[in-house]
Amino acid sequence: MLHTLLSLIPIAITVSAGLGAYLFTRTFVRQRLRFVDAVRSPFAPMVAGAVAFVVMLPLAALPLVSTMTAAVVGFAAGFGTSHGVRSIGRWETSRGRLMP
């Protein structure tokens, strides 16, 4: 029983780190980078994911964090950046239309 609970801790850390990275990058792109043209590049999500992976990689030396956690955080940061850019585009187009 205790072994099963202890084996779930790294999975919970991985899921929460991925969710946190996704939400952080999406919000950061929406609020802080909406006026930066470089974030609209198709390479911006890949760069954000690679940077997040490289930043998380040294933490893989900790007992409860693995390289899979770093990979999940990298993918989540990339997807968060991509969705943040898309939501900026939707917000600008919906705001630019005149309503009768």
Q: What confidence tens digit (pLDDT) does each residue in 18-48 have? A: 999 999 999 999 999 988 999 999 999 999 9
Residues 6+ apart with CB under 8 A from 56: 17, 65, 69, 70, 73, 74
Which pLDDT score is estimated for 38? 92
At 29 the pLDDT is 95
Total domains, the chain: 1
The predicted structure's pLDDT at residue 5: 84
Q: Which two tokens stand for residue 91?
A: 């917000």
- Is residue 76 a part of any domain in this protein? yes
CA 14 to chain centre: 13
Is residue 95 situated within a structural domain? no
Domain membership flag for residue 11: no
On whether residue 63 sits in a domain, the answer given is: yes
**What's phi and psi for 26, nearest 5 deg?**
-65, -45
- Answer yes or no: is 1 within a domain: no
Distance between CA atoms of 10 and 66, rounded to whole angstroms? 8
| CB-count burial class (<10 Å; 0-12, 13-18, 19+) for 10 | middle
How does pLDDT run across 58-80, given as a tens digit for each residue?
A: 999 998 899 999 999 999 999 99
pLDDT range class, residue 13, cuts 50, 70, 90: very high
Residue 44 lies in a domain: yes
Q: 13 lies in a domain? A: no
Q: Could you tell me the residue range of the domain that residue 79 belongs to?
A: 37-90
- Does a structural domain hold residue 77? yes
